[in-house]
Amino acid sequence: MQRWPCYIVCALALTGCGGSETEVEKNEFRVSEKGIRYERMKPLGLDREVRRLLAKMTLAEKVGQMTQVTLEAVAEDDEQGNAVLDEEKLRTAILTHHVGSILNCGGQARTVDNWRAIITTLQDLATQETRLAIPILYGIDSVHGANYVRGATIFPQNIAMAATGNIDLVKASAEVTALETRAAGIPWNFNPVLGLARQPLWSRHFETYGEDAYVVSVLGAATIEGSQGSALSDSRRVAACMKHYLGYSVPRSGQDRTPAAISDRELRELFLKPFAAAVRANVATVMVNSSEINGLPVHASPYYLRTILREELGFKGFVVSDWKDIMNLYEREKVAASQREAVKMAVMAGIDMSMVPYDYDFCRHLIDLVEKEEVPMARIDQAVGAILRVKFRLGLFERPYPDPDLVESFAAASAQRLNLRAARECLTLLKNEQSRLPLAKTARVLVTGPGADLLSTMNGGWTLTRQGDQESLYPQEKDTILEAIQKKLGSDHVKYAPGVGFDSVKDLNAVLHLAAEVDVIIACLGEPSYCETPGNITDLTLSEPQRTLIGVLAETEKPIVVVLTQGRPRIVRDIVDQAQAILLAYLPGMEGGTAIADALFGDVNPSGKLPFTYPKHTGMFTPYDHKHSEEAPPNRFDPQWPFGHGLSYTRFAYRGLNADRFEFKQTESVTVTVEVTNVGERRGQEIVQLFLSDQVATVTPPVRRLRGFQKIELRPGQSEIVKFLLRPEAFSFIGVENVPVWEPGDFDLHVGDLSQTITLVADLKGTGKK
């Protein structure tokens, strides 16, 4: 008899699949002709019903649950841009191949009504015409709002949300996104992205929460909590999906879906922590890195998918591949000799669901592998059990159809107000020479640059289409930067000429002519919209036409205010000295135009802070938590702007940095307090950041690490005591044996321009002094 890895047997216990059944609790339920409709499912009963359902399923039905196809495989667009399901293709998918999951938007955003009709038809077929009535699990990339639903609330991208420094705001935006996604009938969201933005060339930089592991951990967990709530069965919630596990965000080349090189110690010190936090937040699903770490494709790695994810982190949900990535093990990565071998490698490594996305070769190969006993049925049961458990937790067996009551809450006025607040709070003032900003509302201004009159440049990828570049699909009632400024000042005070495109010079003479008639120039620069591999670049420098525009404008000697709308930090070293003020808007979403105009003219005080280190040179991408040798003379740490940088129209003073104990043991927490006062003349918000430096360690310590942040708002003259709790894990690091260690010695606390030293002392169980 063939023997299988012990992890499969252990996993069956974790998912409640396999083994004998013990009646622990009674559940109320009714049985229909098409299966079981569960009225009130208690946790222990859920495991029991998963086992019962598995016992009824054929091999083909189980493999179908592990298969996910894209909407394009079963639908086409009509002339009005609605997705129309192809009945024959749909019946082939669901009735012949027993497909359990469908994803994607079919090329562009759909109306709420179109989405609800699609989901209703899918569930009719799955729950009324299949033997076991297992509902379809539909998944979508609602990465900054329900961005594939027309008319939805489209928030700033994640990198901008990180700049707000507002945890509650991030959670609230996730709640709105979940409700509006679920209003369309879609219960599964492929978000949050938990990669660390430490390779600024990467085309998905804007989807992350920045370069710091602590920030990404906190905001990722907040997103999961806002998405899933306290119960996935709540019809206003969605199952979250942490992605892209693991190491996807730091390709050596900077090109999307290419290899990363990460030591095991660095992996655990930095890149694994956000995923560990997500697991603690009870995230329902995980999507896998499309590429490789140290030569091992993650889709084929038992080490990453079983040893670390399941055994070390304790993840209990199911694992979905990324787009076509099981077949890519054969076609691109070249670690499998055939499609069949690729399927075997991925499933045995720990992939539970394959994002196929167009054909049914995965089903055919996996069925053959099980029938030939190359993949054990126990492994199939583990995967399918995990998938079914999420479907049960979402309440899909009870309520597979869209909730009609949610339509009334879709794109509510309160959601729009929240969106505007997020767009305002993300804005980061990088430079404000001689307090050039805010501008007077009586000023005559010239608005120029390629980003001035486009909505797409403020939203980026994953907006209405994957690339987000179809300007005609954007809601015309939303204001571009130009339109918002015109509304603010009146059209007679605003001149406009783009001057250049992102990659071409248009009419610089027209810009110069208009510049002579105004008091100040507002140049809207940055990037066109992009996403994933089509967004690959080899040079991070801001495009030459845009730099030329600023050079020409500087010759007029008129004050220049630069507004940057971009998904990654383009090198602007050449133009920094030519501009009197620079406002970084990131990708601020549909309310970005209004928010930018509010900040430029003083109705809003900018309060964002950089969630990444903004590089000055294309050859130096050094993060803030670098090592001491990287700044020891003659080396220099010389970014354009440091992590955490962000100016305000007011000033804040810090005093009284203190700890409740200056000596503490490994098991003890430390409470840190600091008083912050608004010493300026305007109300303002401040993100108070606490950094920690380990003076000496057996593994070279970073110069500092962020260990806490809070956002506060103060009136002029108002003070507030800000409190941070440093738990024991804040003082640990991954040691030489690749496990967390605590070493007695001195630590420096840093808040603002203040510092204080505290000491971790050895006790009888300690490791001795440094």
Which amino acids are annotated catalytic?
Answer: 322
CA atoms within 13 A on the CB side of 428: 31
Q: Closest Cα partner for 561 from 459, 417, 446?
A: 446
Q: Who contacts 743 (Cβ-Cβ below 8 Å, separation ≥6)?
A: 697, 698, 760, 767, 770
Assess contact for 743 and 760: CB atoms under 8 A.
yes
Q: Which residue has the tokens 């009938």?
A: 185
Hey, what amino acid is at 457? T
Hey, what amino acid is at 361? D
**Which tokens sit at 755?**
């510092």
3-state secondary structure of 531: coil
Q: What is the DSSP string of 58-72?
A: -HHHHHHHTEEEEGG
Hey, what amino acid is at 759? T
Hey, what amino acid is at 48? R
Q: Who contacts 453 (Cβ-Cβ below 8 Å, separation ≥6)?
A: 480, 481, 482, 483, 496, 498
* Cα–Cα distance, 686 to 689 (Å, whole number): 9
Q: Closest Cα partner for 49 from 73, 75, 23?
A: 23
* Cα–Cα distance, 397 to 458 (Å, whole number): 40
- Measured between alpha carbons, how far is residue 437 from residues 151, 486, 564 in Å? 33, 18, 15
* Cα–Cα distance, 132 to 31 (Å, whole number): 11
* Cα–Cα distance, 151 to 110 (Å, whole number): 9
Q: Closest Cα partner for 324 from 536, 84, 532?
A: 532
**Which tokens sit at 186?**
């879609």
Straight-line distance from the first to the last Cα atom of the chain, in angstroms, rounded to the nearest whole number: 55
- Measured between alpha carbons, how far is residue 72 from residues 110, 112, 138, 470, 552 in Å? 13, 18, 13, 19, 48
Hey, what amino acid is at 92? T
Please list the residues that pair with 722 across neighbouring strands: 674
Please list the residues that pair with 677 across neighbouring strands: 653, 719
| Residue 598 CB neighbour total at 10 angstroms | 21
Hey, what amino acid is at 717? G
Q: Who contacts 416 (Cβ-Cβ below 8 Å, separation ≥6)?
A: 153, 591
Task: Tell me which DSSP letter residue 541 carries.
Answer: B
Assess contact for 465 and 478: CB atoms under 8 A.
no
* Cα–Cα distance, 246 to 264 (Å, whole number): 12
Dihedrals phi, psi of 83, to nearest 5 degrees? -80, 130
Q: Closest Cα partner for 65 from 315, 290, 327, 366?
A: 366
Q: What is the DSSP string of 410-427?
A: TT-HHHHHHHHHHHHHH-
Task: Tell me which DSSP letter residue 338 carries.
Answer: S
